[in-house]
């Protein structure tokens, strides 16, 4: 099947290897682009999202290290925008070159994306997402007093600043994204979950210090562009139950109801596979005739050829 509208959410391993330098990340994205071009060669329209966790973390550390009156550290929403821009450039460049190598004429565009969250989201009263460096308890208390930020103890490793992780409710630039898509462009959007903004009563948008889960932002984007397929890429070809146990089983075609049962059994790790599963479930629930896939970047060719990967369907 061709001419599908597909949202592909890249996993972190598609960008960052063990080397955090710009050159190494650009090289990783060159390899990533060669896999993504397979979908374009297949005749599919592509919208690509990506994570930015390690990159925004590194940029935050650089800002904190250089913080002074003459060179003040930037707030988190600005750092998300900066990494959206840098990763967007790397990916855009890699895709343009990969398309050129395949003799395909297509524009590639990155959209710095503001993702609207509800200012009354309960996440703002339950700050849970740790960011930045580790502090001793004494240092954390001093930072709280100095900045007004909230710090929490993180798994016995020290104290870290915590911010909200609200759910996305809309994407400000959605009409721009649709226009680019309709013109035949490959679009990169909602990088790192997008820049979190709240809408004031006046309609004005204001950036907030928060982190939006990239899988839920990608799901929101997939629904808003009316995607036929939502692909979430991760480090494995399939989702497994009883992972790393003797009775480990790969999931090939699975319904939302079956996944709900597996979630009750706590089969999926909260920080990694669970949000991917929940985002794909939400997508097929809200768009019943569509489907979603969780698989690896390296398996994209097999997915095109034979529906290889974990296929999530409504029933």
3-state secondary structure 96-155: HHHHHHCCCCCCEEECCCEEEECCCCHHHHCCCEEEEEEECHHHHHHHHHHHCCEEEECC
Chain Cα centroid distance, residue 30: 19
Q: Which of 11, 52, 129, 191 is catalytic?
A: 129
CATH assignment of the domain containing 239: 3.40.1160.10
Q: Does residue 293 contact residue 311 with C-beta atoms inside 8 Å?
A: yes
Split at pLDDT 50, 70, 90, the class of 1 is low
Tens digits of residue pLDDT in 238-250: 999 999 999 999 9
Does residue 306 belong to any structural domain of this protein? yes
**Confidence class of residue 69 from pLDDT cuts 50, 70 and 90?**
very high
Query: Mean of the pLDDT values across residues 127-153?
Result: 91
Domain assignment of residue 72, given as a range: 5-113+168-194+220-313
Residue 309 resides in a domain: yes
Residues 42, 193, 194, 276: which is the catalytic one? 276
C-alpha pair distances (Å), 99 with each of 50, 156, 204: 19, 47, 39
Backbone dihedral angles phi then psi of residue 104, each to the nearest 5 degrees: -105, 125
Band (2; pLDDT cuts 50, 70, 90)? low
- Are 173 and 181 in contact by the 8 Å Cβ rule? The answer is no
Residue 102 lies in a domain: yes
Is residue 125 a part of any domain in this protein? no
Quote the pLDDT of residue 78: 96
pLDDT tens per residue, range 34-63: 999 999 999 999 999 999 988 998 999 999
Task: Write down the catalytic residue from 13, 58, 170, 299.
Answer: 13
Mean pLDDT over each residue of the chain, to the nearest integer:
94
Catalytic (active site) residue 12: yes
Q: What does residue 222 show for φ and ψ, rounded to 5 degrees? A: -60, -40
Q: Which residue in the list 5, 12, 119, 158 is annotated as catalytic?
A: 12
Q: Helix, strand, or coil here: 7?
A: strand
Per the structure block, which two tokens stand in for 233?
């890429």
Q: Where are the alpha helices (DSSP H) in the chain?
A: 22-41, 53-66, 76-101, 137-147, 174-182, 214-224, 256-264, 273-286, 300-306
Confirm whether 129 is a catalytic residue.
yes
Dig out the tokens for 174 from the structure: 């959605």
Residue 222: what pLDDT?
Answer: 98
Mean pLDDT score, 53-77:
92
Nearest to 76 by CA among 8, 137, 162: 162
DSSP summary character for residue 210: B
Summarize the confidence of residues 184-213 as an average pLDDT: 96
Q: How confident is the model at residue 14 (pLDDT cuts 50, 70, 90)?
A: confident
Does 27 map to a domain?
A: yes
- Give the whole-angstrom CA distance, residue 231 versus residue 222: 10
**CA angle at 36 for the pair 315 and 253, rounded to the nearest 5°:** 20
| Confidence at residue 155, expressed as pLDDT on a 0 to 100 scale | 80
Per-residue pLDDT for 211 more than 60? yes
Residue 203 annotated as catalytic: no
Tally of structural domains, the chain: 1
Whole-angstrom distance, CA of residue 257 vs CA of residue 155: 33
pLDDT for the residue numbered 212: 96
Tokens of 56: 């925004």
**Percent of the chain having pLDDT more than 70?**
99
pLDDT of residue 289: 85
In the DSSP assignment, the letter for residue 164 is B
Structure tokens at 252: 């090939």
- Residues 248-293 pLDDT 10s: 999 999 999 999 999 999 999 987 899 999 999 999 999 988 899 9
Angle between helices 273-286 and 214-224 (to 10 degrees): 20
Q: Let me know if 276 is a catalytic residue.
A: yes
**Is the confidence at residue 193, as pLDDT, over 80?**
yes
When pLDDT is averaged across residues 198-202 and rounded to a whole number, the result is 95
Look at residue 136 and tell me if it is in a domain.
Answer: no
Question: How many Å apart are CA 178 and CA 168, to the nearest integer?
Answer: 18
Taking alpha carbons only, the member of 285, 276, 292 closest to residue 240 is 276
Cβ within 8 Å of residue 1, ≥6 positions away: none
pLDDT category, 70, cuts 50, 70, 90?
very high
Q: At what angle do helices 53-66 and 76-101 cross, to 10 degrees?
A: 130
Say if 123 falls within a structural domain.
Answer: no
Examine the residue annotation and report whether 192 is marked as an active-site residue of this protein: no
* Per-residue pLDDT at 271: 79
| 268 belongs to a structural domain | yes
Write down the catalytic residue from 214, 287, 291, 309: 214
| pLDDT score at 259 | 97
Give per-residue pLDDT as tens, 85-101. Answer: 999 999 999 999 999 99
């Amino acid at each position: 099947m061709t001419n599908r509208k597909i949202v592909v959410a890249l996993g972190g391993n598609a960008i960052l290897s063990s080397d955090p330098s710009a050159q190494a990340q650009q090289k990783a994205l060159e390899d990533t682009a060669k896999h993504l071009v397979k979908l374009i060669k297949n005749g599919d329209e592509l919208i690509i999202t990506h994570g930015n966790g390690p990159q925004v973390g590194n940029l935050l550390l650089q800002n904190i290290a250089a913080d002074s009156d003459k060179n003040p550290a930037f707030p988190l929403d600005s750092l998300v925008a900066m990494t959206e821009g840098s990763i967007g450039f790397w990916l855009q460049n890699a895709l343009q070159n990969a398309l050129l190598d395949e003799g395909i004429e297509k524009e590639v565009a990155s959209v710095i994306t503001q993702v609207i969250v509800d200012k009354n989201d309960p996440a703002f009263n339950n700050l849970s997402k740790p960011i930045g460096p580790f502090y001793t308890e004494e240092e954390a208390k001093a930072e709280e007093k100095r900045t007004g930020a909230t710090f929490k103890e993180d798994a016995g490793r020290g104290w870290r600043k915590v911010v909200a992780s609200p759910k996305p409710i809309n994407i400000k630039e959605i009409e721009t994204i649709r226009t680019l898509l309709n013109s035949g462009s490959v679009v990169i959007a909602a990088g790192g979950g997008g820049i979190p903004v709240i809408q004031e009563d006046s309609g004005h948008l204001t950036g907030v210090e928060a982190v939006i889960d990239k899988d839920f932002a990608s799901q929101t984007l997939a629904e808003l562009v009316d995607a036929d397929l939502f692909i979430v890429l991760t480090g494995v070809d399939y989702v497994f139950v009883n992972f790393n146990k003797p009775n480990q089983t790969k999931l090939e075609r699975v319904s939302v109801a079956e996944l709900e049962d597996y979630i009750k059994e706590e089969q999926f790790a909260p920080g990694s596979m669970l949000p991917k599963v929940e985002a794909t479930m939400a997508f097929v629930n809200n768009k019943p005739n569509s489907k979603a896939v969780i698989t690896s970047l390296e398996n994209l060719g097999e997915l095109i050829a034979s529906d290889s990967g974990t296929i999530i369907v409504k029933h």
